[in-house]
Amino acid sequence: MEKVVIESFTLDHTKVKAPYVRLIDSQTGSHGDVVSNYDIRLCQPNQEAIPTGGMHTLEHLLALYLRPRIPGYLDCSPFGCRTGFHLLCWGVHDPKDVAVALKEALQLVTETKWEDVPGTQERECGNYRDHSLFCAQEWARAILKKGISMDPYERKLV
């Protein structure tokens, strides 16, 4: 049996400097289509974790605000460790462009009213009771204050 290598488990989580955006990998399908996976790291691994209610609301809001800013946006799913998200999209984008889009999206999170958060009703969400706009906004402000880097190891802010 071939050994499976999971890239995110090879990343030295003690050396990265969050918040940052990094391209994890791009893969080309059998018809030539390219899908890219980005590490959208919002907080420092093993030192911070976003509470589930805030993470859940960030997930919904990033889906709303990143989609029009990143061509070929497919999905932005939270890491189980609650330190960030996997962003999947068609094509390859410069991490700087993704970081700029993330910065713009997080600024919009800080300005969002509860009634504008999508997918918060029972019929729309699998865990609709587990949301916190307040928490999402507090984390968005803290991340924006630290600045978003386009490099995981050096603070190259956008």
The pLDDT tens digits of the residues spanning 124-133 come to: 999 999 999 9
Q: How many domains does the chain have?
A: 1
Domain span at residue 63 reads: 10-114+127-146
CATH code (residue 134): 3.30.1360.80
pLDDT bracket for residue 7 (50, 70, 90): confident
Tell whether the model's pLDDT for residue 78 goes beyond 90: yes
Structural domain contains residue 121 = no
Q: Does the residue 37 lie in any domain?
A: yes
| Amino acid letter for position 119 | G
Whether residue 155 lies inside any domain: the answer is: no
Q: What angle do CA 123, 124, 128 make, to 5 degrees?
A: 90
Enumerate the β-bridge partners of residue 103: none
What's the average model confidence in pLDDT over 129-142?
98
157 is a domain residue: no
What would the DSSP string read from start to end of 18-32? SSEEEEEEEEE-TTS
Specify the pLDDT at position 15. 97
Query: Does a structural domain hold residue 50?
Result: yes
Number of CB atoms found within 10 A of residue 152's CB: 21
Within-domain flag for 103: yes
Q: Is residue 78 part of a domain?
A: yes
pTM for the whole thing? 0.95
Burial class (CB in 10 A: 0-12, 13-18, 19+), 115: exposed
Residue 77 in domain: yes
Distances, alpha carbon 119 to alpha carbons 5, 59, 104, 123, 126, in Å: 35, 10, 21, 8, 9
pLDDT (average), residues 85-114: 98
Query: Please, is 136 exposed, middle or buried when counting C-beta atoms within 10 Å of its C-beta (0-12, 13-18, 19+)?
Result: buried
